Amino acid sequence: MPFFGLDCTRRKEKEVERKIRANDREYNLSFKYATNAIKTSKYNLFTFLPLNLFEQFQRIANAYFLFLLILQVIPAISSLSWFTTVVPLVLVLSVTAAKDAIDDINRHRSDRQVNNRKVDMLINGKLISEKWMNVQVGDIIKLENNEFVTADLLLLSSSEPLNLVYIETAELDGETNLKVKQSLTVTGDMGENLEALAAFNGEVCCEPPNNRLDRFTGTLTSGTQKHSLDNERILLRGCTLRNTDWCFGMVLFAGPETKLMQNCGKSIFKRTSIDRLMNVLVLFIFGLLALMCIILAVGHGIWEYQEGSKFTAFLPREESIAFSAFLTFWSYIIILNTVVPISLYVSMEVIRLGNSYYINWDRNMYHARTNTPAEARTTTLNEELGQIKYIFSDKTGTLTQNIMTFNKCSINGKSYGDVIDCCSGQRLEITEDMTPVDFSFNWLADPKFLFYDHSLVEAVNLELPEVHAFFRLLALCHTVMAEEKKEGDLVYQAQSPDEGALVTAARNFGFVFRSRSPETVTIEEMGIQRSYELLAILDFNNVRKRMSVIVRNPEGKLSLYCKGADTIIYERLHPSCSKLKEVTTDHLNEFAGEGLRTLVLAYKDLDEEYFAEWKQRHHEASVALDDREENLDKLYEEIEKDMLLIGATAIEDKLQDGVAHTIELLAKAEIMIWVLTGDKQETAENIGYSCNLLREEMNEVFIIAANSPEEVRQELRDAHLKMCPATEQDKFLIPETILGNTPKVVQDENVSGEYGLVINGQSLAFALESSMELEFLRTACMCKTVICCRVTPLQKAQVVELVKKYKKAVTLAIGDGANDVSMIKAHIGVGISGQEGMQAVLSSDFSFAQFRFLQRLLLVHGRWSYLRMCKFLRYFFYKNFTFTFVHFWYAFFCGFSAQTVYDEGFITLYNLVYTALPVLGMSLFDQDVNAGWSLEFPQLYVPGQLRMYFSKGAFMMCALHSCYSSLVLFFIPYAATYDTARDNGRDGADYQSFALITQTCLTVTVCVQLGLDLSYWTVVNHLFVWGSLGMFFILTFTMYTDGLFRLHPPSFAFIGTARNCLNQSNVWLTVTLTTVLCVLPVVAQRFLHSQTSPTINDKVRYKVRQMKEPAPRPRHAKLSRRSTRRSGYAFSHAQGYGDLVTSRRFLRRPAPARSTGFTPTGRSPGFKPMGRSAGYSPVGQEQNHKQKVEPTSLQMFRAVKDPSF
Q: Which residues are catalytic?
A: 394
b (16+ CB within 10 A) / e for 343-373: bbbbbbebbbbbbbebbeebeebbbeeeebb
DSSP symbol at 987: B
* CA nearest neighbour of 1044 among 1036, 81, 913: 1036
* CA nearest neighbour of 853 among 828, 833, 839, 882: 833
C-beta atoms surrounding 309 within 10 Å: 11
**CA 677/CA 817 separation, integer angstroms:** 11
**CA 1080/CA 1008 separation, integer angstroms:** 11
* CA nearest neighbour of 175 among 972, 1133, 1153, 1104: 1133
DSSP symbol at 367: B
**Amino acid sitting at position 891:** A
Does residue 119 sit in helix, strand or coil?
Answer: strand
Distances (CA, A) of 772 to 143, 277, 720, 726: 44, 31, 14, 21
- For CA atoms 818, 820, 825, 831, give the dihedral sign: negative
Strands (E), 238-387: 240-242, 246-253, 375-376
**CA 960/CA 921 separation, integer angstroms:** 25
C-beta atoms surrounding 780 within 10 Å: 26
Does residue 571 sit in helix, strand or coil?
Answer: coil
**CA 236/CA 816 separation, integer angstroms:** 19
Angle, alpha carbons 1181-1184-1189 (nearest 5°): 50
Angle, alpha carbons 387-391-397 (nearest 5°): 135
The values of phi and psi at residue 182, to 5°, are -140, 135
DSSP symbol at 965: H
Q: Are 841 and 921 in contact (CB under 8 A)?
A: no
* Contact residues for 45 (Cβ-Cβ < 8 A; gap 6+): none
**CA 1168/CA 1161 separation, integer angstroms:** 17
* CA nearest neighbour of 345 among 333, 336, 335, 353: 353
**CA 28/CA 21 separation, integer angstroms:** 7
Q: Are 540 and 569 in contact (CB under 8 A)?
A: no
**CA 174/CA 152 separation, integer angstroms:** 18
- How far out from the chain centre does Cα 167 lie? 25
Provide the residue count of the chain: 1205
**CA 915/CA 347 separation, integer angstroms:** 11
DSSP symbol at 148: B
The values of phi and psi at residue 240, to 5°, are -125, 130
The values of phi and psi at residue 86, to 5°, are -70, -35
* Contact residues for 694 (Cβ-Cβ < 8 A; gap 6+): 685, 688, 701, 756, 758, 785, 787
DSSP symbol at 573: B
Q: Are 277 and 877 in contact (CB under 8 A)?
A: no
* Contact residues for 145 (Cβ-Cβ < 8 A; gap 6+): 241, 242, 243, 244, 245, 246, 1188
**CA 531/CA 324 separation, integer angstroms:** 107
